[in-house]
Amino acid sequence: MAALATAALVACGGGGSGGGGGGLPIGWVPAPGPGAGVTEPTPNPHPPTPSPAPTPITASYKYLSFEQNRDPDTDTAEKRFDDYIALLNREGAAGYRYLEGEAGGNIVRLQDRFMMVKDTETTYRYEYKRLTYDIMQTTAIQALLQQAKTQGAQGMVLLKILAPIDLNNNLDPEFAVLYRKDLGAASTYDVTAELYATTSTDYVNRANAQGANGYRPWATPFLVNQGGYQFFLKDMGSAARYDLKAVISPLSVVGGNLDDLKAQIREQGAQGYRVLKNRFLEDGKDFYFYVKDTTQSSTFEYEFLDNPDPLFGLQEANAAQANAQTANGLRYFGVPDSPLFFRSLACTGPLCLSPDQTETSNQN
């Protein structure tokens, strides 16, 4: 029974990690493709230092870890999850928002190595909800969507699938799903879903149809035998409208290199598009997706840094690096194997802040 739950968890990636599906593995290039945006060449991927000097930002990044095994003789199935949520709520009460992590486990174990950020004057509350997962049925994603809608109406946003809590009477694993509430805002949310597109054109068309109604790409939950879906999130009190574009990554074309990719990202930022995530699609070509709030005239500037600890994934050194960059007006975007930092100009709203991994990952 434990093996069944563990296998299901492995298949769903442990809730999404800072590597693989988690956002921005740097190393591809732009070229025209069917339905994709075409990027004009940018001659200098290393722009000069901004003048005047950038204004420092107020943000504090923190790395934490949690690891707990269940003692079946003394511990309830929920104890390790309750203890994990208690840790998050202590940090949330101090204003820290869960940013990205490597949560996972099985019906005995729960662990997470994660980064949090305090970048707005607010506090947060975290909780988890159970989700029953019958691997022989195709109802779990629909149940997750309905759960996210119900939670959203109470001001809670879906963050990730954590790990199985236990097996129910039917021997189906019951997973814990993490949610967060901003206690300084009266926002409520709606969540909708689309089947995950098989081409960049379809993905962009579906995202833009949702974006015109104020929905932006959010979670991309994955559970074995449940189909692929893109969830979209709407802040019911926001007037924001979103536009998405896809551009072929340079390493998908002969001669493309890392500098070409940096140039692409910077060029899109100057046009008001913040990088969203990358996705393998269409005849072996990789695409980068970019998102823009069309109700404002924001622009984005980017810096690409070396990973201070490239061998072991997300570490304390990543938080230290992020804190050092706040003096340069830069916020952490991710990912631990190739850190990307950005500066937002003339910007308000969620696209201006360090994004949740839930938004930037291809797997939650």
pLDDT exceeds cutoff 80 at 271: yes
Residue 261: predicted pLDDT: 94
- pTM for the whole structure: 0.86
Q: Is the peptide bond before 191 cis (omega within 30 degrees of 0)?
A: no
Full DSSP string of 299-327:
EEEEEE---SSTTSSS-HHHHHHHHHHGG
Q: What span, in angstroms and rounded, lies between the C-alpha atoms of 320 and 322?
A: 5
State the first-to-last Cα distance of the chain, in angstroms, to the nearest integer: 23
Model confidence over 245-267: pLDDT tens digits? 999 999 898 899 999 999 999 99
What mean pLDDT comes out for the span 342-363? 94
What mean pLDDT comes out for the span 320-341? 91
Model confidence over 154-186: pLDDT tens digits? 999 999 999 999 998 888 899 999 999 999 999
Question: Among 24, 59, 46, 45, which Cα is nearest to 329's?
Answer: 59
Q: How many CA atoms lie within 13 A of 6 on its CB side?
A: 7
